[in-house]
Chains A and B, each alone.
Chain A
Amino acid sequence: MRKDLVFGMAGSGGDGIVSAGESLLQAASMEGYHGVMTKSFGSQIRGGESSCRVRIATDPILNPGGNLDVAVALNWEDFLKFGAELPVAGTTVVIYEAATGIPENQIPLVGVTPLQVFAVPIAQMAKDTAGTERAKNTVVLGLIAGWFGIGAEAVMKGISKRLLKKSQELVDANQKAFDAGMAFAKEHPLKADMTIEVSKTKGAVKLMTDGNDMCAAAAIFAGCQFFGGYPITPSTEVMQFFTDHVWKYGGSVLQAEDEIAGIGAAVGASFAGKKAMTATSGPGLSLKTEMMGLASIAELPLVIVDVQRGGPSTGLPTKTEQSDLFAAAFSAHGDVIRPVLAPTSVADTFRTTVEAFNIAEQYQTPVIILSDQEISQRKETLDPIDTSKFKLVDRLRPTPADLQGYKRFKQTENHISPISHPGMAGGAYLAAGIEHNETGAPTNSGSVHQRMNDKRIKKLNPLKERRDLFEVTGNPDAPLALVAWGSIAGVCREALIMAKEQGLDVKLLVPYLLYPVAEQTYLDFFASVQKGLIVEQNHLAQTFKVLRMHLDLPAGVKSLARSGANPFLPGEIVAALQNLLAELQRSHEGRLQPQE
């Protein structure tokens, strides 16, 4: 019996691999399992290779998992294109299309001997039962249900949910294909029992959603009623979901002519007095930078979602990376701080998005949500969100007294000035990209510029005191440490559990607030630390460098950074921690210590 299974499947576009993954995850959510699904494609629009990973577990899981327990290849050429995204090991059961003609002892996986290999005539079985090869993915699901025990009924329900939109006949045909897969599994048993244990929360149905939908749902919940944006992979679904739902609450969406106009319209809606947002990915973030400067100096609340993908330029548009931190924190012209927040999972994308709107409104500033392709497009099962625990913040609006001789940019103790909107009699002012005095009148004065910069930067200081925007787990006095954000935080959370099982004394810091850098929070965290790793998915070690820019990291804290697309595995992080521990022990023993 198993508590945790990782499935990886690949085929050509049109093989229905991703649909199969979705049905499997759907079944898992109906059976009360915890699940995560990621998809990966070539960048072709139709056809080309496509793959998905589905991880199903009885306990909560924090990432899409490491080596595959089950690998499904509808053809080897496509499977191999995903390389380290679908890692096969000695513990993997490999299932592949027999029509490929490759003998079971000659599969093209170099240097690996899988646990067990099955060549299955998948296409033939689909044709014989459902009358079409298009049911191949259903045969695969039958095999999976037969061998690994995820409720057959639930899996078939998952399939039906998808196919009923088309016709009942299609469901019946697929039932036969599914049964054939089940029967094949029964006739060819596994060497070891790999069926998954019954879920502890069987019967408690979970949501199944992805980060982009979660982000848009949270924005609507937060009272955002305007989205201006331009389609770009992998953020487009934020606009789609928002468009599908916001009209019910009076809001509207502008699919703009370009990235600049998208954020421009959002700035215009915020100027008109309403919470507004835009979403994009790396190249779009670059285009939006000038408008972000405008929102900063005009002190207009605004939320910008950047779903990171491999870059620069078009880069790896369908794959994940954490390489926009520099761009998010520093791509501004002029002296400015823009808060940058990062969710770490589909579930906490809701909280992070609500928080972004609250910070934008509270401090009258643009806020960037740095999501990534993995979080945005992976599907997770999760418990329904309890919205009663969220407090919503609206911008400080002027009182009738404020409107007597109204000063839009009035200097106040906390540097936040009441903000009026068109239509509010007495509140007229000139919003401007040009420097202005307290009333909003344009100025060239160096001393006014100094004072206004001071106001705009100092107003954000309280953010750095927000300890609730950081998560610390593990022994507070641990000598070993990990720091990670975004989707990599999930990998590190799981590495922390593995490391503890191996007896390592480690703690983990996950920042949800990436910028401004909350120096004291990091200093407190690192106080006990002798060795540590800043883990991130980019080549330049951007997080490591941003932290070093703001504080003195302990000499033993190193960077573990590499480019995107290929996942980090919890095991390799634990191995790196073991190395650090060995170094630490050597130095304690007084042996020659390597130069840091």
Chain B
Amino acid sequence: MTTAAPSAPATNRLGLTKQDYVGSKSTLCPGCGHDAITAQIIAAAWEMGLEGSKVTKLSGIGCSSKSPAYFLNQSWGFNSVHGRAAAIATGTALANKTLKNILVSGDGDSMSIGMGQLVHLIRRNVPVVYILEDNGVYGLTKGQFSATADVGSTLKHGDVNEIPPIDPCSLAIELGCGFVARSFSGNPKQLNAILKAAMAHTGCAIIDVISPCVTFNNHDSSTKSYKNAKDHDYPVHDLGFVQYNEVEEVEIRAGDAREVAFPDGSVVSFRAVKDDYDPTNKLAAMQAIHASKAKQEFLTGILYLDPQAPTIHHFCPTVDEPLATLPQARTQPGPEALERIMQGLM
């Protein structure tokens, strides 16, 4: 990886070094796109100054789902069952409002077996940074097509995919997701800004990251190869993210940048690359995604953003304190309360 060294000091606002945010050594294939994403999760969490003990790292099953072990050793991992991390995350989020939940999934885990859970996670706007590491194949089972494989893409041994893919981004926008982004594991700068903005978002953030599988899907006839992704990566804007505590100090360049603020005061700025792109216009976003698809490009950036969308805590009223530490007196009905329930039954 050729990540530009961050200009931030060697310790973050909590006085922690980047080393404090690493995890165990990766056991994925050397050169795997997922490891490049892991590096940016570590960088973003460190730069944001996330409090490790208040972070969960949830995943299902698959190569991508192994990666929570490779970042944020001070946080709570849950490597659960195939496709269901979204359901686990929903329960965890409801039981503890104070957590920052990072969920790592793959295209098999999310777009096939776990589709039902994912769409309801989005619909309920559960506060989760959902990183979909998208390589178009099942790596752990040695290279079958997944539901995001493009029409015409081939497997190593020549099988051609003829079934149209599911696009996680247009699906998420359609379902009302308030933060929809696409990126590429080979574009660390953009991914870093997207991850930080997603961590500032209070609802569900869906990030589809094209992450080439170097072992099973990196050949010339694959549309999810590193080369093809690099050649067809079409960033819609240059992103800048400024966290709430730095807003005062950082001067956002005037000119053609759009800005959108998060509820905590953090700001994300969008500077057009070629054509103007309004990430707050849902219909325009859909149109742009469809148009780029026709041109076989990967439109990347924050494709749609609505930081104000009500979250699950609005739909399912929850208490502010974590349930696990609520004082007993509040959680257990005393004899009087039980008496009242029983009176109701008489």
What residues of chain A have their CB less than 8 Å away from a CB belonging to chain B? 29, 205-209, 213, 217, 220-221, 223, 225-226, 228, 245, 247-254, 256-258, 260-262, 264-274, 276, 290-291, 293-294, 298, 384-385, 387-388, 392, 421-434, 440-442
> Which of B72-80, B153-161, B236-244, B293-301 is the contact stretch?
B72-80
The number of A-B residue pairs with CB atoms under 8 Å apart is 212
Q: How far is the CB of A348 from chain B (nearest CB, A)?
A: 16
Task: Decide yes or no whether B337 CB sits under 8 A from chain A.
Answer: yes
Chain B CB within 10 A, most for which of A294, A422, A432: A422
The answer to whether A294 and B81 touch across the interface, beta carbons within 8 angstroms, is yes
| Given A217-B338, A252-B316, A271-B78; 5 other pairs, CB 8 A cutoff | A256-B90, A258-B116, A268-B91, A269-B92, A269-B95
A254 near B84: Cβ-Cβ < 8 Å: no
| Cβ contact within 8 Å between B120 and A205 | no
When distances are taken between beta carbons in the complex, the residues of chain A under 8 Å from B319 are 250
Are A273's CB and B90's CB within 8 A?
Answer: no
Does B96 lie within 8 Å of A264, measured CB to CB? no
Q: Of A220, A272, A293, which contacts B323 at CB under 8 A? A: A272
Whole-angstrom CA separation of A217 from B338 in the bound complex = 8
Residues from chain B with a CB closer than 8 A to the CB of A207 are 342, 345-346
Is the beta-carbon distance between B325 and A423 smaller than 8 angstroms? yes
Given contacts A269-B92, A272-B91, A430-B79, contact A252 B317 (CB under 8 A): yes
A82 CA / B318 CA spacing, docked (Å): 45
Which chain A residues border B79 with CB–CB below 8 Å? 430-434, 442
> Which B residues contact A (CB, under 8 angstroms)?
24, 52-56, 58, 61, 66, 68-69, 73-81, 84, 86-96, 98-99, 116-117, 119-120, 316-319, 321-326, 328, 330-333, 335, 337-339, 341-342, 345-346
Residues of chain A within 8 A (CB-CB) of B96 are 272-273, 421-423
Min distance, Cβ B172 to any Cβ of chain A, angstroms? 16
CA distance A276 to B55 in the complex (A): 21
Are B318's CB and A423's CB within 8 A? no
Check B322 against A272 for contact (C-beta < 8 Å).
Answer: yes
Q: Are B52 and A257 in contact (CB under 8 A)?
A: no
**B57's closest neighbor in chain A, by CB?**
A430
- Chain A interface main SS type: mixed
Min CB–CB distance B241 → chain A (angstroms):
25
Which of A205, A256, A433 contacts B346 (CB under 8 A)?
Answer: A205
A217 contacts B73, C-beta separation under 8 Å = no
Query: Smallest CB–CB gap between B157 and chain A, Å?
Result: 28
Distance, CA A140 to CA B322, complexed state (A): 54
- Chain B residues lying within 8 Å of A440, measured Cβ to Cβ, are 77
Are A248 and B68 closer than 8 Å at their CB atoms? no
* A428:B52 contact, CB within 8 angstroms: yes
Min Cβ gap B15→A in Å is: 15
B316 close to A248 (CB less than 8 A): no
Taking the nearest CB of chain A, how far is it from the CB of B41, in angstroms? Answer: 15
Point out the residue from B53, B326, B333, B337 that lies within 8 Å of A428, measured CB to CB. B53
Q: Are A291 and B95 in contact (CB under 8 A)?
A: no
Chain A residues in 8 Å Cβ range of B58: 268
Whether B335 pairs with A421 at a CB distance below 8 angstroms is: no
Q: Do residues B87 and A256 form an inter-chain contact, with CB atoms below 8 A?
A: yes
A220 to B117, CA, bound (A): 27
> Are B80 and A265 in contact, CB atoms less than 8 angstroms apart?
no
Contact A272 B95 (CB under 8 A): yes
With A267-B91, A428-B75 as contacts: A221 and B338 at CB distance below 8 Å:
yes
Residue of B68, B316, B325, B345 near A430 (CB, 8 A) is B68
List 9 A-B residue pairs with CB atoms under 8 Å apart, sorted by A's residue number: A221-B333, A260-B84, A264-B88, A271-B76, A271-B91, A272-B92, A430-B76, A430-B77, A433-B61
CB-based contact A423/B98 at 8 Å: yes
Evaluate contact between A268 and B52: CB separation under 8 angstroms.
no
